[in-house]
Amino acid sequence: MTPEHLPIEQYDAQLAEKVARLQSMMAPFAAPAPEVFRSPTSHYRMRAEFRIWHDEDDLYHIMFESQTKQRIRVNSFPAASSLINALMPAMLDGVRDIPALRHKLFQIDYLTTMSNQAVVSMLYHRKLGEEWQQHAEALRDNLRAQGFNVHLIGRATKTKIELDQDFIDERLTVAGKEMIYRQVENSFTQPNAAMNVHMLEWALDATHGSKGDLLELYCGNGNFSLALARNFNRVLATEIAKPSVAAAQYNIEANEIENVQIIRMAAEDFTQAMNGVREFNRLKGIDLKSYQCETIFVDPPRSGLDADTVKMVQAYPRILYISCNPQTLCENLETLSETHNVSRLALFDQFPYTHHMECGVWLTRK
């Protein structure tokens, strides 16, 4: 039985275990009791990926059990959004009897929004061409006739065929204000939309009354940058992935936000620029010295912050740190706690029924 299929009644017990585990991990840093944010217990995942299993005339979605690697047929997936659950059988019905769509189809990826939009990516172990596109267009039109606001994409080695577009626009109400977030297929997006709203509102509350400007590393599509912009004079944010930067620029315009500047560069490179180690063409025309950044926000990958970036982050009076891996957060805190106190701690149950935890800390200089 996969974690996603655990009975819902086990949710409270598993969440309590996560709270206890996080408190134990954070005890060496004199952290306060965590503020705990519960997830919806079903239909919380806005994206899901499934392998496709071909069985004579039939085909169906499958997943692999994480430890035994046992193949599990998935007819419905309660963890995923209602839209994903509705699309799953509709997609299979649409490709089952169409050789051009079915042949060597090995995976289907679903990305949806709370605003009821979807991008579905079909992955193949063969070349895709005009025949595939014609049948995929017919499938898309049939899905839309059924009421699905869906866009289809075909992927194969060195090939990507978009029907219409490769993005959808999410709309979230954050602390009373509607935010528009463009989400691009095959790029990082927050998987649990309800929990994302909790994280954004917690971050807004933690930084309420902040002075000066905000520096953000790893900004993605501007998810936090744009929500936090209302608490700061200006926001300077960095991101290395080109599609995410393009989405962030669109989101700035769509939300009519005028005080956010996005720079496409790695956090490690930006650290070198801030430390005067190197000069970068991408920073020409940007007066870094004009920014009065008293707060820095980081949401790094699972590996956490590298040693140089940790040292750079220490220079800021206030640090907002969102972590998808409390273990590497604690490793970073071994250094950060030399100069800062953990003033607030939050547990965001981004991944119910799994061992994974997402958490946030608000650090203030000693």
Q: Where are the CATH 3.40.50.150 domain residues in the chain?
A: 3-41+192-365
**17 marked ligand binding residue:** no
- Could you give the CA distance from residue 111 to residue 168 in angstroms, rounded to a whole number? 8
pLDDT at 8: 66
pLDDT at 7: 63
Q: Which CATH class is domain 47-168?
A: mainly beta
pLDDT at 65: 86
Task: Give the tokens for residue 249.
Answer: 């620029």
- Could you give the CA distance from residue 317 to residue 344 in angstroms, rounded to a whole number? 15
Q: What is the DSSP letter of 76?
A: -
324 noted as active-site residue: yes
Number of H helices, E strands in the chain: 10, 17
pLDDT at 249: 95
Q: Concatenated DSSP letters for 296-332?
A: EEE---TT---HHHHHHHTTSSEEEEEES-HHHHHHH
Q: Where are the CATH 2.40.50.1070 domain residues in the chain?
A: 47-168
pLDDT at 276: 72
- Could you give the CA distance from residue 123 to residue 107 in angstroms, rounded to a whole number? 5
Residue 97 burial (CB count, 10 A): 9
**334 marked ligand binding residue:** no
Cα 258 to chain center, whole Å?
A: 24
- Could you give the CA distance from residue 226 to residue 207 in angstroms, rounded to a whole number? 14
Q: Concatenated DSSP letters for 82-150?
A: HHHHHHHHHHHHHHTT-HHHHTTEEEEEEEE-TTS-EEEEEEESS---HHHHHHHHHHHHHHHHTT--E
| Sheet (strand 340-348) strand order | 35-37, 340-348, 358-365, 318-323, 293-298, 213-217, 235-239, 260-264
Q: Are 38 and 189 in contact (CB under 8 A)?
A: no
Residue numbers of the chain with a pLDDT score lower than 70: 1-8, 275
Identity of the residue numbered 149: N
Q: Are 15 and 329 in contact (CB under 8 A)?
A: no
- Could you give the CA distance from residue 70 to residue 62 in angstroms, rounded to a whole number? 10
4 noted as active-site residue: no
Q: Which fold has domain 3-41+192-365?
A: Rossmann fold (3.40.50)
- Could you give the CA distance from residue 77 to residue 58 in angstroms, rounded to a whole number? 19
**146 marked ligand binding residue:** no
Task: Out of 4, 170, 185, 324, pick the active-site residue.
Answer: 324
**223 marked ligand binding residue:** yes
pLDDT at 132: 98
Task: Give the tokens for residue 254.
Answer: 């769509």
User: HEC profile for 244-292?
Assistant: HHHHHHHHHHHCCCCCEEEEECCHHHHHHHHCCCCCCHHHCCCCHHHCC
pLDDT at 266: 81
Global confidence as pTM: 0.91
Q: Concatenated DSSP letters for 177-201?
A: EEEEEEEETTS---SBHHHHHHHHH
**190 marked ligand binding residue:** yes
Contacts (Cβ under 8 Å, ≥6 apart) of 202: 35, 37, 346, 348, 360
Task: Out of 4, 170, 358, 359, pick the active-site residue.
Answer: 358
